[in-house]
Structure 1
Amino acid sequence: MTIIKPDITRLPGTGLVIGADRVEDSSGGAVEHRYPGDGSVTGLIPLAGAHEVDAAVRAARAAQPIWERMAPPERRRLLHRLADLIEADSERLTHLTTIDNGTPMMVTAHGAPATAELFRYNAGWTDRLEGSVIPTWPGSNLDYAVEKPYGVVAVIISFNGPLIGCAMTAAPALAAGNTVVIKPSQLTPYSPTRLGELALEAGIPPGVINILVASAQGGTELVKHPGIDKIHFTGSGPTAQRIVTDAVANMTPVGLELGGKSAALVFDDIDVDATVPALLSGLINMSGQGCINATRLMVQDGIYDHVVAAAEKTIEHIPMGDPYDKTTVMGPVINEQACDRILGMIDRATEGGARVVTGGHRMGDDLADGFFLAPTIVADVPNSSYIAQNEVFGPVLSILRFTNETEAVSMANDTEFGLAGYVYTHKLERAHRVADKLQAGNVWINDCTGIPASVPFGGVKGSGFGRLGGKWGVREFTQPKNIWLKL
């Protein structure tokens, strides 16, 4: 298989989107972007430094009162217009997202429509954030509370879903009347930059949406900026700890959507052969680089060997290879460092007694120049082991054994994370009982078909706090203001 070279003539200008301007020269230096499919350099990306961060925050602050005071139907119209342009630009955005992180076009083709839907759904909330009249005593008084935006929101997203990540966070913040400074990962600069261009084309006032591709140092400058009124971060726990520490100086509130080590509890009443494809989705989807991916598969004794054997057989038929081949299901991981880290975790697991059923190596031949890892199944994994307790963020499925429901729930909850959980059973009472006991912000029963824009999404414990999606996502970016009048 020959890997198709990415068409870099279709890339957006690599400048930063600050207010109405595209800034080409930056104070934060520059970095090469490498296409994960073949390791080739696609461009030199300017990075925001302190100067550009300050300019973007100032632009956002200047635009925020205009955006907040704009009639809600007009704000809604502009967000719908942006959604229309995203859909019209869908083919290019698909191409850009594949260049960004190597996700196959079969997957990225869904990104632009999902992004447009997030903006459309949240646009509907522009005139639906109602206040409350509150009873008071003693005496005759009038007291009411209204929802007010924070002001300027710093949105920091991860590399695995750059376009949807922007929309999941920025769309509800914008609907609530905030302006945003979005910092995508320097690993995935292109699709977020194009989103910033489309926002200006839609007629959204300059400064309402700013895009700052930046290094970790640029992110620190953004978090510490006194002009930021709220921060929302999507990424890893260690980075979140640094962000929270840096935010303390200005007492800036922080929302966190962090990683997971999501368990899928598989009970012995299921049809194994019919269910195994769904059980493998955790390592297949985005090559395992998803925060909600079920990569800790817990299987009941009676069907354990059957599940392991069926999973191994199914893995052999997963189309893996060129991200631009529309039949490819699995692509590369993000970069060389990720390859080394993931292989190191597999080696550590085998040293601890686990068994590699299939995979566990870098792909060769035509895929050797890219960052391709063979889909890997590791069986007989102790729940206390490093690989069972830490997020791999790669195409690795750990399979563990349990005897009964009580043990399964205990094992699933025995982790610092609490983002997602999965239950596979045909017994309705058990499904609800187990779902209720799982310490996770989101639970799927017998399948996972994504995260609709209308539902609350977020984690507990080490997976963060706050929610995106639905009314909860919009209120993540508002705060109540109480007004009391003596009559």
Structure 2
Amino acid sequence: MTTPSPVTGDLGVARPLVDGAWLDRASLGSSEHVNPSTARGNGTVVLAGPREIDAAVAAAKAAEPEWRALSPDKRRRILQRVEELMNEHMGELARLNSLEVGAPIGVSTALVHLCAQWFGYYAGWADKIEGATIPPSPAMVAGLDYTVPEPYGVVGIILTWNGPIVSVGMKIAPALAAGNCVVVKAPDLAPFTVARFAEIALEAGLPPGVLHVLPGGPEAGDRLVRHPDVAMVSFTGGIPTARKILRAASETLKPVLTELGGKTASIVFPDADLDATAVEVARSFCNLAGQGCNLTTRMLIHRDVYDRVVEATAAAAAALRPGDPFAAGTGLGPVVNEASRERILGVIERAGKDARLVAGGHAADPASLTEEVRDGFFVEPTVFADVDPASDLAQHEVFGPVLSLIPFADEDEAVAIANGTAYGLGTALATRDSSRVQRLVPRLESGSVHVNGPSAQPPGAPFGGYKHSGVGREGGREGLYEFLQTKNVFIRI
């Protein structure tokens, strides 16, 4: 008898956490979670609405003075314990992530590990937040002038469904280290890993009113943003939703950190390691089934090596086998649901009228999949060559495993194409010429530039975008100070 794959496992029930209590019922009822790998239900989500958001914000506001007054070293030890427990439960958390979003188990494990690292990193910051002394001016009254970084109070965090466990580390860890209380609107499509994280945080010693996690849809998010006692909002997601959030936040004039979409370009020059770059880009655009903001979705290739790189990239993409996320050798998981798969296939069909299809282009063949995942929402790794830089395919996020290959003649044309979208999240350079790197980096309109390989996105590195890719930074010192506001103090002598 064949042992069933873990992909058939049950997620249980994701409940809202409000003031340390798990709610069996909430105002918007419940929904069934559908496993994207199997297209079958594998869990229940209790959906919070405005009423539960109000209760969570009230509890967070009540808990904020004590959490803020807690000695920084005690906050540090709690966050360090969160990191320890996440590492102890890494296998469990990775399993939950793969069951709810379909990521290959190796990818899920790496994401959970990264989240734990973020907590360890920001634990180290908790007792190192300091202000500055302002030098006196001869023309002013003598005195002591200094600054004090202070938490906002209650912070609202809205997580996206494609990688919620990463956002837990990038957002919740620095917000807590800074002394804020946090109300999290977890994605209704993927709340289970976040809910399990919240259990771990309570076990680590986080006081009950400091962290609240509420699965919910737009109603919950809208109330969280508009609530007058929420002093600041951090959001990861799409541009249309960001516009709604910014309009809603304008009513109370609260700051909003936004991490939005991207159209990352990898610029490949003839002196690069072409075969390694082809494999790297293929893995990038297929990571999380292409459902990521900073994945490489455009590959700009110098005309001198264009044909060779097109062939190598198409072959590398075709070698990434869709399938069971728990099976060894799976290179590509499913997209999140049937609607996403149909939308992506529609993009592919329209793009095929103008560009040259060199790999994929269809839903995965059910005959190539194991029985457990034959009904899952899989799309083949798809590569188009000869893509017009002004086309919809090159200009807009697909949020699926689709890559555009575009030729260029020289550095100026490459920079113009790379910068020629509304996005500015990331750019990659593949070249051995250090002088070229120094010439191009200042000209690229993006929040990050990676040279000859992807960044591991360490917790100390700031992450964020230019233009429509967002406002603010996550990670490093910059990411901590997004959750702090500066008070100036002057004492006359």
TM-score bin, normalised by smaller chain: over 0.9
| Structure 1: distance between partners of 2:28 and 2:97 | 24
Q: CA deviation at 1:70?
A: 0.3
- Hey, what does 1:356 align to over in structure 2? 357
- Hey, what does 2:116 align to over in structure 1? 116
| Structure 1: distance between partners of 2:311 and 2:111 | 33
Q: CA deviation at 1:304?
A: 0.7
- Hey, what does 2:21 align to over in structure 1? 21
Q: CA deviation at 1:7?
A: 5.4
- Could you say what secondary structure the match of 1:298 adopts? strand
- Hey, what does 2:33 align to over in structure 1? 33
Once the two structures are superposed, the pairs formed by residues 327-342 of structure 1 within 5 Å of their partners are: 327-342=329-344
| Structure 1: distance between partners of 2:161 and 2:469 | 17
Answer yes or no: is the 8 Å Cα contact 2:394–2:404 preserved in 1. Answer: yes
What RMSD over aligned residues (CA atoms) do the two structures have, in Å? 1.5
| Residue 162 (structure 1) aligned to one of 161, 164, 172 | 164
| Structure 2: distance between partners of 1:150 and 1:263 | 36
Once the two structures are superposed, the pairs formed by residues 7-406 of structure 1 within 5 Å of their partners are: 8-9=9-10, 11=11, 13-137=13-137, 138-351=140-353, 353-365=354-366, 366=369, 367-406=373-412
Give the stretch that moved more between structures: 296-305 or 12-21.
12-21
Q: CA deviation at 1:156?
A: 0.8
Q: CA deviation at 1:44?
A: 2.2
Change (3 A) 1:97 1:483: same
Give the stretch that moved more between structures: 119-128 or 312-321.
312-321
1:311-367, Cα deviation, whole Å (9 max, x unpaired): 22222322321011133221111111111111111122122x111111111113235
1:218-240, Cα deviation, whole Å (9 max, x unpaired): 11111111111100000101100
Q: Does 1:445 align with 2:451?
A: yes
Q: Does 1:427 align with 2:433?
A: yes
- Could you say what secondary structure the match of 1:449 adopts? coil
| Residue 474 (structure 1) aligned to one of 480, 485, 488 | 480
The amino acid of 1:342's aligned partner reads I
Answer yes or no: is the 8 Å Cα contact 1:12–1:193 preserved in 2. Answer: no
Change (3 A) 1:36 1:189: same
The amino acid of 2:360's aligned partner reads G
Return the TM-score normalized by structure 2.
Answer: 0.96
Answer yes or no: is the 8 Å Cα contact 2:131–2:146 preserved in 1. Answer: yes
- Hey, what does 1:461 align to over in structure 2? 467
| Structure 2: distance between partners of 1:92 and 1:29 | 27
1:426-469, Cα deviation, whole Å (9 max, x unpaired): 11110222122110001100110321000111001000110011
User: What is the number of equivalent residue pairs in this alignment?
Assistant: 485
Runs of 4+ in 1 over 4 A off after TM superposition: none
- Could you say what secondary structure the match of 1:155 adopts? strand
| Structure 2: distance between partners of 1:136 and 1:117 | 40
Answer yes or no: is the 8 Å Cα contact 2:13–2:46 preserved in 1. Answer: no
Answer yes or no: is the 8 Å Cα contact 1:289–1:333 preserved in 2. Answer: yes
| Structure 2: distance between partners of 1:5 and 1:143 | 60
The amino acid of 2:358's aligned partner reads V
1:151-204, Cα deviation, whole Å (9 max, x unpaired): 111111111111111111110111111111111211101000001111111111
| Structure 2: distance between partners of 1:374 and 1:329 | 11
Identity %: 41
Q: CA deviation at 1:420?
A: 0.3
Answer yes or no: is the 8 Å Cα contact 2:382–2:403 preserved in 1. Answer: yes
- Could you say what secondary structure the match of 1:383 adopts? coil
| Structure 2: distance between partners of 1:139 and 1:118 | 44
Q: CA deviation at 1:281?
A: 2.4
Change (3 A) 1:173 1:284: same
Answer yes or no: is the 8 Å Cα contact 1:163–1:191 preserved in 2. Answer: yes
| Structure 2: distance between partners of 1:398 and 1:243 | 31
| Structure 1: distance between partners of 2:61 and 2:216 | 20
Structure 1 residue runs of 5 or longer lacking an equivalent are none
Answer yes or no: is the 8 Å Cα contact 1:33–1:43 preserved in 2. Answer: yes
| Structure 2: distance between partners of 1:115 and 1:150 | 23
- Hey, what does 1:412 align to over in structure 2? 418
- Could you say what secondary structure the match of 1:280 adopts? helix
Answer yes or no: is the 8 Å Cα contact 2:13–2:43 preserved in 1. Answer: no
Answer yes or no: is the 8 Å Cα contact 1:299–1:402 preserved in 2. Answer: yes
- Could you say what secondary structure the match of 1:182 adopts? strand
Answer yes or no: is the 8 Å Cα contact 1:166–1:182 preserved in 2. Answer: no
Q: CA deviation at 1:8?
A: 4.2
The amino acid of 1:88's aligned partner reads E
- Could you say what secondary structure the match of 1:113 adopts? helix
- Could you say what secondary structure the match of 1:232 adopts? strand
1:352-399, Cα deviation, whole Å (9 max, x unpaired): x11111111111323541010000001110000001000111110110
| Structure 2: distance between partners of 1:310 and 1:4 | 33
